[in-house]
Amino acid sequence: MKAAVLHQYGQVPKFESSFEKPSLPSHNAVKNLDKAIALGKHTIKYPSLPAIVGMDGIGTIVLQNNLENNENHNTNELNFENQRVYAIGSGMLGQFAFVEKNKTIPIPDNLDDISAAALPNAVMGSALALMDRGNLKKGQIVLINGATGVTGKVAVQLAKLYGASKVIVTGRNKEQLDLLLELGADKIISLLGTDEEIINELEQVYKETPIDLIIDYLWGHPIELIIQSLKSLVNHNTIINPIRIVTVGSMAGDTTNIPSLVLRSLPLEIVGSGFGSFSREGFRDLFVKYLPEAFEYAAQGKLKIDTEVHNLEDIENVWNKKVDAGKRLVIKVD
């Protein structure tokens, strides 16, 4: 069968047209996690090499006993067969893969495969940051720092869908910032200005609409500016509500400088959002609530994601390709 096969850690997966069939065609988003595993820089390892890459994807169910030419199906199995699903498994960048039934989510009939393949990772990085780690409540005001990437754009839309009364966004890409206004953002703040200009604009925003929740995809210097602007407002007795910062990424740097005095002067809480910090309930809700909801929102046209699509045969050329800002790379497997 056709597959993207890794022969050695640190190398780019290669397209093979006749790799051994493990188990229907699928479409898969290539994520940083997939690349980290292939580089050998992640704790997840393949049992042996060569191995087919990919941790999740969209495909159609074929029952295992049907593959083995056994026609003894019960009614529940027959209802499950031929269903189009999102699935988590291993070796997903191939024409066939084994998945467990409890690790699948049905895809609405009117949602295309490409969007369905691109959404899950972005939903994990936004829905759980907003709801599980951010504890977003209806009517609250959200600031999304670094919202011009794929996950940030999904976070803007989900924040509104989850009931945020106002969403303010920051970013450097002017084209993507303008697009965020069409996706539901109420105000955009460019990070291309001087520190003083950015702080002044943030201070004005806080005076008009005090922030309840900050979802941060940048860390580094931008989060310092945000906290500095909050500190200056506290000095003028204008901040009264507690603020939670949820750090999801570190595109602007892994470290930042937050003086102890700031944490003692602000009603501020800083938490992380990632595999190690999700609550058990939150991780369960990702599969039983947030992802199914996101697929339905997308099917209804309420949730949009931009993609760049390539065929499996091109995997070596596009594996490390720099995709246009705000787009998710999706590999189409036919």
Structure-token pair, residue 83: 């269903």
Decide: 180 and 155 in contact? Cβ < 8 Å. no
Of 216 and 241, the structure prediction assigns the larger pLDDT to 216
Q: Tell me: pLDDT of 74 over 60.
A: no
- Give the pLDDT band (50/70/90) at residue 230: confident
Decide: 84 and 274 in contact? Cβ < 8 Å. no
Burial of 314 (0-12, 13-18, 19+ CB in 10 A): middle
Average pLDDT over every residue of 180-190: 97
Q: Which helix (H) or strand (E) holds 52?
A: strand 51-52
Residues 6+ apart with CB under 8 A from 302: 157, 161
Computed over every residue of the chain, the mean pLDDT equals 88
Instruction: Give me the DSSP letters along 205-253.
Output: HHHHS--SEEEES--HHHHHHHHHHHHHHHHTT---S-EEEEE---TT-
- Give the pLDDT band (50/70/90) at residue 115: very high
Of 64 and 212, the structure prediction assigns the larger pLDDT to 212
pLDDT at 226: 95
Render pLDDT for 242-271 as a digit per residue (tens, 0 to 9): 899 999 999 999 999 998 888 888 889 999
Q: Tell me: pLDDT of 68 over 50.
A: no
Lowest model confidence (mean pLDDT) among 18-32, 153-167, 245-259: 18-32
Range with the largest mean pLDDT of 95-99, 187-191, 323-327: 187-191
pTM of the model: 0.88
- For the CA atoms of the chain, what is the radius of gyration? 22
Rounded-to-integer distance, Cα 130 and Cα 170, Å: 16
Smallest Cα–Cα separation from 28: which of 9, 49, 3? Answer: 3
Backbone angles phi and psi of 297, in degrees to 5: -60, -45
Decide: 87 and 57 in contact? Cβ < 8 Å. yes
Average pLDDT over every residue of 304-322: 94
Lowest model confidence (mean pLDDT) among 12-16, 183-187, 194-198: 12-16
- Give the pLDDT band (50/70/90) at residue 287: very high
